[in-house]
């Protein structure tokens, strides 16, 4: 809601200060979502199959990466690209949702990263984000637009304003669906946890912890980065806040390990009591992952969109 309020204020009077407030709100909201990564992994191990599929579907709506930014709005090399500039796509919530993953899984029209690109643009060098003037309302039809037969609501600035509002509303709706799904399943979820034998429950928890490290931190970020793939490994390349994603995910793990207590024992103490060797191995790898990510993120001056990636997305389209 904070982000939605900032966007409303920004669109009332587009200016540099207001768009920076929108960007700050996006960063806060996205980091808060990434903090829940380990909890979402754990939930998938204990809920029924139908609920698990619903959760995965919502996650695809909310936070899919990588995306093809030219599917959303213009790129410097393709100034007329994207839904914003495609007059054949009506700008309604239902139509925008229908465009999400229409031809390719990475053709995202909704979610955090589609919204990120709308707010920041390509921003290849960290110093050239989308100008606030891209969102200034045009109330008088320019002569060249009139000659092309365009109406005011078909101008890219005006469509971009609508797209920004719709993207935020859709994201909020998806979060409401997420919470409604949890509310509907909360009793069943609690019963499953209460009836689960402690060793199995601890095993599910460890599975969630390790899957975050392997799937989200290592496989998703660290391994591609080590192989020179700086597109998929930077999940927030437009805002250049990819390090925030990794930090939030790891902080969520640390909170679970160090702050969640059972009978006055934290989870890391329980692990140590069960197997000192396993606990030592786990924490050594955990600390090593953090150190590697800090080092690699700190040595990357920018998170570019390679030309090959832009070419690839238009091959798909």
- Residues 187-244: pLDDT tens digits? 777 777 777 777 777 788 878 888 887 778 776 666 666 666 655 557 788 998 888 8
DSSP-assigned states of every residue in 133-165: GGG----S--HHHHHTT--GGGSHHHHHHHHHH
Q: What are phi and psi of 185, to 5 degrees?
A: -105, 0
- Least confident among 9-18, 83-92, 159-168, 283-292: 283-292
Domain limits at 148?
Answer: 2-316
The answer to whether the CB of 249 falls within 8 A of the CB of 34 is: yes
Query: In the chain, pLDDT over 90 holds for what percent of residues?
Result: 49
Can you tell me the mean pLDDT for 5-18? Answer: 97
Categorize the per-residue pLDDT at 170 as very low, low, confident or very high, splitting at 50, 70 and 90: very high
Q: What are phi and psi of 294, to 5 degrees?
A: -60, -45
240's torsion region: left (phi>0), alpha (psi -120 to 50) or beta?
Answer: left
Categorize the per-residue pLDDT at 86 as very low, low, confident or very high, splitting at 50, 70 and 90: very high
In CATH, what number is assigned to the domain containing residue 218? 1.20.1420
**Cα dihedral 21→251→186→30 (10° resolution):** 20
CB atoms within 10 A of CB 236: 23
HSE of 272 in the Cβ direction (CA atoms, 13 Å)? 10
User: Is the confidence at residue 90, as pLDDT, over 50?
Assistant: yes
The answer to whether the CB of 24 falls within 8 A of the CB of 9 is: no
Q: What is the pLDDT of residues 230-289, one digit of tens each?
A: 555 577 889 988 888 888 888 888 887 776 555 667 777 777 777 777 777 777 777 776
The answer to whether the CB of 129 falls within 8 A of the CB of 121 is: yes
Overall number of domains in the chain:
1
Q: What is the pLDDT of residues 66-76, one digit of tens each?
A: 899 999 999 99
Of 32, 64, 65, 61, residue with least CA distance to 255: 32
What pLDDT does 295 receive?
66
- Least confident among 108-112, 160-164, 166-170, 214-218: 214-218
126's torsion region: left (phi>0), alpha (psi -120 to 50) or beta?
Answer: left
Model confidence, pTM: 0.84
Query: What's the rounded Cα separation, in Å, for the pair 3 and 127?
Result: 22
Query: What's the rounded Cα separation, in Å, for the pair 219 and 270?
Result: 27
């Amino acid at each position: 809601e904070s982000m939605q309020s900032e966007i409303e204020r920004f669109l009332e009077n587009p200016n540099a200060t207001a768009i920076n407030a929108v960007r700050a709100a996006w960063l806060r909201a996205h980091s808060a979502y990434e903090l829940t990564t380990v909890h979402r992994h754990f939930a998938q191990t204990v809920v029924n199959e139908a609920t698990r599929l619903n959760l995965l579907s919502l996650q695809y709506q909310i936070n899919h990466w990588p995306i093809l930014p030219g599917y959303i709005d213009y790129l410097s090399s393709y100034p007329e690209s994207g839904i914003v500039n495609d007059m054949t796509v009506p700008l309604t919530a239902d139509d925008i949702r229908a465009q999400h993953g229409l031809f390719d899984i990475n053709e995202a029209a909704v979610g955090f990263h589609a919204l990120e690109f709308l707010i920041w643009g390509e921003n290849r060098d960290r110093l050239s984000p989308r100008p606030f003037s891209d969102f200034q309302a045009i109330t008088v039809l320019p002569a060249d637009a009139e000659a092309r037969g365009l109406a005011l609501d078909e101008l890219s600035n005006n469509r971009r304003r609508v797209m920004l509002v719709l993207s935020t509303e859709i994201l909020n709706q998806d979060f409401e669906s997420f919470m409604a799904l949890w509310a509907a399943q909360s009793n069943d979820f609690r019963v499953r946890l209460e009836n689960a034998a402690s060793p199995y429950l601890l095993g599910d928890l460890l599975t969630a912890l390790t899957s975050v490290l392997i799937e989200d931190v290592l496989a998703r970020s660290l391994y591609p980065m080590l192989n020179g793939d700086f597109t998929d490994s930077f999940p927030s390349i437009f805002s250049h806040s990819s390090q925030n994603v990794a930090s939030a995910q790891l902080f969520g793990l640390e909170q679970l390990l160090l702050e969640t207590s059972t009978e006055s024992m934290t989870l890391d103490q329980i692990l140590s009591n069960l197997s000192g060797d396993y606990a030592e191995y786990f924490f050594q790898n955990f600390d090593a992952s953090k150190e590697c990510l800090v080092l690699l993120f700190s040595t990357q001056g920018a998170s570019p969109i390679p030309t090959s990636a832009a070419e690839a997305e238009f091959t798909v389209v």
